[in-house]
Amino acid sequence: MSTCAKRLPPILVLIALLALLAAMARRFAWDYSTVSRRRQQFRSTSVWLRGWRPRHQRTLRSTAQFITAEPSLPSPGCRLSMVHLITHANDIYTQGDRTIIFWTKTLQCGDNIQAEKKVEAIRVTRSGMYFIYNQIMFKDERFSMGQVVWRRFGARRHAAQQEKPLLQCVCSMPEKRPNQSCYTAAGMVQLGAGDELAVIIPSRAHAHISANPAQTFFGVMQLT
């Protein structure tokens, strides 16, 4: 009994110390998580306050953006010009043995590339390097279809060199469910002031194409 009585108090002391350390660790972990959570809440509140605007200001700002977001108007503030066009089902015509597409402007920036509300060709008013792209989704049952982007030179060129094919694309049409897109683009093309760009479908009168703006489009971007 005397031996057990001498050894028991140190064991109790050790257990008590361990229990105290465990309690302190739990307390420290809870305090740290609370501080971290409050700090995150403070940061979120600060970000929200910096981006906060009164309701009437938010309404006016969004209304102004809606009113001024007219895609067909040129923007004088653009350093380089660009234009993007789409077509409609009633803007596709046949001329002899070829199909002519008239385009509708949906986006324009700057005034170095001109395109009216509904045009056959895009006109460049400033010499420089340009990026040209065109895609047509064909829905024709003929075995092959394709388009040509023609370049019509300005008045500086001789009459015999008034126009020439710039880009060409040819695709084979599937026998079942004839749906095939033909995309062509030129990385860098030197164009002069007064040059015009037009898209035709040669040797294919009454061509059937899609008027979906995501499938058939035409555009030019100024690079220099």
pLDDT in tens, the chain (224 residues): 444 445 557 777 777 778 887 777 777 666 666 666 666 665 655 544 454 455 444 444 433 333 333 444 555 568 899 999 999 999 999 999 999 999 999 999 999 999 887 889 999 999 999 999 999 999 999 999 999 999 998 765 554 568 889 999 999 999 888 999 999 998 789 999 999 999 999 999 999 999 999 999 999 999 99
Q: What is the DSSP letter of 173?
A: P
Residue 17: its pLDDT value, please?
79
The per-residue pLDDT for 62 is 39
**Cα–Cα dist 149/73, whole Å:** 24
Positive or negative CA dihedral for 197, 202, 206, 211? Answer: negative
pLDDT at 12: 73
For residue 153, give the amino acid letter.
F
3-state helix, strand, coil in the chain (%, to 5): 30, 35, 30
Contact by Cβ (8 Å): 120, 101? yes
Note the pLDDT of residue 76: 54
- The phi, psi pair for 134, rounded to 5°, reads -155, 140
Rounded to 5 degrees, what are φ and ψ at 150?
-95, 140
CA angle 77, 78, 79 (to 5 degrees): 115
Kindly provide the b/e burial profile for residues 110-147, where b requires at least 16 CB atoms within 10 angstroms of the residue's own CB.
bebbbbeeebbbbbbebbbebebbbbbbbebeeeebbb
Q: What is the DSSP string of 92-156?
A: EEEETTEEEE-EEEEEEESSSEE--SEESEEEE-S-EEEEEEEEEEE---SSEEEEEEEEE--TT
Kindly state the tokens that stand for 209. Answer: 């194409």
Measuring CA to CA, which residue among 72, 185, 187 is closest to residue 134? 185
Which pLDDT belongs to residue 107? Answer: 92
* Gap between the Cα atoms of 95 and 169, Å rounded: 20
